[in-house]
Structure 1
Amino acid sequence: MRVRGVSARTRAAIRRVEDQEMWPNAVAKALSRLEWAFQQPGRYLNASETPSPGLEVEDARDDLELALRLLPLGARRDLGRLIKRIDEEYERRTLPEPNNTEWAVFGWWWTRARER
């Protein structure tokens, strides 16, 4: 899988991070999972009836955050531009969930509610 929308240099840096610290295609798969979720109809993102740890869109965002922390600065900025757009769409399609504030230590995206 190929990460679209970033430079060849960033793709090479992502591959190095995946080889050394993550798993093959971790970033592309996370981006794909979020892209799929955003293509679903409706104003708000749907939540699973039964949560699937590791397969939720929040888990995909966790994977992207890990990659950002591990990438060198230039690649972090390049990938960060894609993630900024993802974050804006995620925030637009979810609602604040005040009962999940303890989850903020894992990432602000865990404090948002999806529609059930």
Structure 2
Amino acid sequence: MTGYLTTHVLDTARGCPAQGIRIELFRIDGSERTLLKTLTTNSDGRTDEQILPASEFALGEYELLFHAGDYLDATGTPPETPRFLDVIPLRFGMSEAAHYHVPLLLSPFGYSTYRGS
């Protein structure tokens, strides 16, 4: 099996996919952090392409940064200074050549994630 990485962002407060969230993917190697890609969620809350396709997949530690504050501002969530949730980092490891699906369930005051399928 070949590995690859996907995500899906759902706005649990509004009950819909979260469109327009900028996502950055970093590879973590010790204290080094390398930006690999920047994508934006579509109308289904997914990216138009795999975040890390099979041709670029490698085992290791990664971090997804979800720029939720910009999305919350755009959807009319009352602003705060500073916003409670702005940039949400999810750091995770990929230890086998498999499909890693790392979704984000988002509301203005909380989030959760899991390894999906």
Bin of the TM-score, shorter chain as denominator length: under 0.3
- Calculate the TM-score normalised by the size of structure 2: 0.26
Which has the bigger relative contact order, CA under 8 A and spacing at least 6?
A: 2
Alignment TM-score, normalising by the size of structure 1 = 0.26
Could you say which structure has the higher helix fraction? 1
Q: Which has the higher strand share?
A: 2
